A and B are shown apart, each in its own frame.
Chain A
């Protein structure tokens, strides 16, 4: 538990150097195999920061954290796992990073991800794929795969991810860690390199439910620099929550569509909840079959717009030749972006072009509204909706990345929460042949801490927390 670490550091029971050394030891042993960091800070710098931070105090005084490389860190390069931003060093901190520093957290490094968060396996990274610490042949999920893998490998105990369509929850599910996609507008996006603004949120990732709640309470809150944040006081995580009488909806169709081992593990948890007194009922989300296409239409449209700024003029990859500006822009963008990014920019540009806009984009927005309405109806009846986070077990490297349609289909369970702006949490549900399976909890808008409370209860049932992969 982070709260204990903070106490031990403060009260001198834990030596700061020893504390930092412990993580660097593991990193030096296993990072070559995992590749969870794009940028790792030097141990000396980190030790000195930790000591300084302990003196200043704060709720995370001295605690190490990994930050997904899509989040701007002043003075530390922020690459978004792209050749385009390989050498880009932001002159400012993201709001969440400011908040973390104010509470004494110390950045250990920047974690690997899919390029510009476009992917579900952390294989589209320009810096090479991240491997799953539970099985090095497999992906840790994505796009925040570096954060998930670093947690599972025991490189760090707290991390930030970003979630546009499941990018926090997929890695959480595949690495037996905890991740929360917060209610839209509760966490500032200022400093988050935009992929799809209307869908994404920065969110906490951790090894147990308590730390998840702590990290969320620190990064959440409205921000005058992000007009999409809402006036929001983070509620306390309810301690000692009881599921007795809790109305649980099981998304039957989603569950049925999942792989057998996944289904089995989730069903066992549902049974346990039921025997603890939860009122479990099977239900179905309307328009679920349209969620995935609607999600990808919106995400790609926004992406094509957001990524227009990378032309090499002000920052980022640029090679000036003899050509005019058009040729130079084309060359920079052609060389700087990877294949998946180019695919999404092209599809997004197509969708937004005259004649197709109404046919695709406007329709996708309609689907989004319908799904939101359907969820509102479900939440009139249920306190929480449960489902598998991912319909499959962690796939092997290469299995998905070359087949975009298959890769996009992995996100079928997770995109719903992004479309509807509601909070969604993934937590370890169990293992199948040593491969993690994640449970997804979705709640009403702004019920984030309530979901964390439920996960604390479920954590006691599964007894899976602070899980670290047995790396050799």
Chain B
């Protein structure tokens, strides 16, 4: 069995500010180096001051992951020279003398398995490096954008308890759902959740793949590494301890040029940031104010809406999807039918377009209205499926959409009878066969549907054909 451990980096992008200064945490799509100040640029004399909300967030995550919480928040400086570092040290946390991580020894349960959490750290993100040619090797110079410098991060480190790419995916999806339910991270933002992946197979050393940008990529990187390492061992080659980089374009990991050595980060407690005591009262207060977590929500959805556990789990895996379901359920009371539509057709369109529920433009009102129109027989299920992408992707209003494109179901008996007669007349063989075979009736219904641009009411058409054939 391969051993897999994850170091997940989560942007605290709902903090409003960076971790230690008042610059905005919303750094994306801003002109380079406009979201900065003396603190996050590391100017001489600038001093970091903690946004205390970050501690609340870290404690919430620690509680959700069943961790032990430290008696004090202590920041340490992690020293290494690198062009993206504004101070050439990162304000982070360290488990060592006089220092500690904000939380440790937790657990997150996935299907039939517990993944242990080693520790949770709060730290700051460095600046963003931009290579003008897109590659470090061919660029003559490097551009730096400090808009991201100083954004708060949670580092969540697991024990190497994960044994397959699928488990890693499930772990990350559940973690993401927890983070979203806690409101500590808008995980849809670019780069909001990244991971370093440690993979080792039997007979080889641990290989670290750095900075993998999405859950899908983590799964692919692990698949790739397991295959690569196993192949090497079969060929009698050594798998040595190294750091690799994930090339998501090509779907392969490549060695970084730096030699793997145990770098000495010369950690010591940051003298600008006095230890911040974490009292029992504070933990109690945060515990009392914890929002509903995914596991509890799944249970509640099953009870409240009568849907299956599996259905509820899929909904809750994406907080925005579960929110959407519940908001729509306030307007539309056939909860099972609603779940069915959302989990099959609605979700299929999201997946097709590779977007998450939060990016859908559909409103609960639109979906409720769509289902009511179906119930009233104004439109057919086929029409529902057909207009759904317009609603999801463009935010179209179902009334408007159906009116404009004349998609209402045809229930005009006289007209339908005429079409049925035509169809039977045209295909006498089928009409004869239909007398003994219901499948052929369906075939004839299909022909009517086609002729009416899918607007014929299927139930009504079926009845008319039977009547005509005397079945």
Q: A residues bordering B, Cβ < 8 Å?
A: 71-72, 78, 80, 85, 88, 90-92, 94, 189-194, 196-198, 224-228, 301-302, 304-305, 308-309, 311, 313-315, 325-326, 329, 349, 352-354, 357-358, 361-362, 365
Q: When chains A and B are docked, how far (Å) is the Cα of A57 from the Cα of B89?
A: 43
A residues near B79, Cβ cutoff 8 Å: 305, 308, 352
Q: Is B45 an interface residue (CB 8 A)?
A: yes
Question: B80 to chain A: closest CB distance in Å?
Answer: 9
Q: Is the beta-carbon distance between A92 and B38 smaller than 8 angstroms?
A: yes
Task: Chain B residues near A349: list those with CB within 8 A.
Answer: 266
**A94 near B42: Cβ-Cβ < 8 Å:** no
Contact B97 A309 (CB under 8 A): no
A314 in complex: contacting residue of B47, B86, B266, CB < 8 Å: B86
Q: Which of B26-66 contact A (CB under 8 A)?
A: 38, 41-50
The reply to whether B268 and A361 form a contact with Cβ atoms under 8 Å apart is: yes
Q: Name the CB-closest residue of A to B96.
A: A357
**CB neighbours of A192 from chain B (8 A):** 45
Known: A308-B81, A329-B81, A362-B98. A88 touches B44 (CB 8 A): yes
- Interface residues of chain B: helix, strand, loop or mixed (majority): loop
A94 touches B45 (CB 8 A): yes
Q: Does B88 lie within 8 Å of A309, measured CB to CB?
A: yes
Q: Is B110 an interface residue (CB 8 A)?
A: no
* Nearest CB of chain A from residue B315's CB, rounded to whole Å: 43
7 A/B residue pairs, CB under 8 Å, sorted by A: A80-B44, A225-B47, A227-B49, A227-B50, A301-B268, A313-B144, A357-B268
In the bound complex, do residue B44 and residue A85 qualify as a contact, i.e. CB atoms below 8 Å apart?
yes
- A90-B271 Cα distance, complex, nearest whole Å: 23
Say whether chain A's binding surface is mostly helix, strand, loop, or mixed.
loop
A309 to B264, CA, bound (A): 17
Contact B45 A309 (CB under 8 A): no
Residues of B within 8 A of A (CB): 38, 41-50, 77, 79, 81, 83, 86-89, 97-98, 142, 144, 264, 266-268, 271-274
Inter-chain contacts of A311 with B (CB < 8 A): 81, 88
B86 touches A198 (CB 8 A): no
Q: A193 and B271 in contact (CB under 8 A), knowing A309-B87, A358-B97?
A: no
CA distance A225 to B45 in the complex (A): 11
Whole-angstrom CA separation of A219 from B196 in the bound complex: 47
Q: Complex formed: what's the CA distance from A305 to B81 in Å?
A: 11
Separation of A193 and B43 alpha carbons in the complex (Å) = 9
> With A227-B272, A308-B88 in contact, do A190 and B83 touch (Cβ < 8 Å)?
no
- In the complex, the answer to whether A191 meets B83 with C-beta atoms within 8 Å is no
Query: A352 contacts B268, CB within 8 Å?
Result: yes
Chain B CB within 10 A, most for which of A85, A227, A326, A362: A227
The one of B89, B144, B274 that contacts A305, using a Cβ cutoff of 8 Å: B89
On whether the beta carbons of B45 and A190 are closer than 8 Å, the reply is yes
Q: How far is the CB of B277 from chain A (nearest CB, A)?
A: 13
Complex: how many Å from CA A329 to CA B50? Answer: 29
- A224-B49, A227-B272, A357-B97 in contact; A315/B43 too (CB < 8 A)? yes
Taking A309-B88, A353-B264 as given, write out 5 further A-B residue pairs in contact, using a Cβ cutoff of 8 Å, ordered by the A residue number.
Answer: A194-B44, A226-B47, A227-B49, A313-B83, A357-B266
* Chain A residue contacts of B97, Cβ below 8 A: 357-358, 362
Residues of chain B contacted by A193 (CB below 8 angstroms): 44-45
Contact assessment for A72 and B44 in the assembled complex, using a CB-CB cutoff below 8 Å = yes
Q: Which residues of A contact B266 (CB under 8 A)?
A: 304-305, 349, 352-354, 357
CA distance A226 to B98 in the complex (A): 22
Partner of A225, one of B41, B49, B89, B142: B49
B142 neighbours in A (Cβ, 8 Å): 325
B273 CB contact (under 8 Å) in A78, A90, A191, A227? A227
Chain B residues whose C-beta falls within 8 Å of the C-beta of A309 in the assembled complex: 42, 44, 86-89
Whether B264 pairs with A354 at a CB distance below 8 angstroms is yes
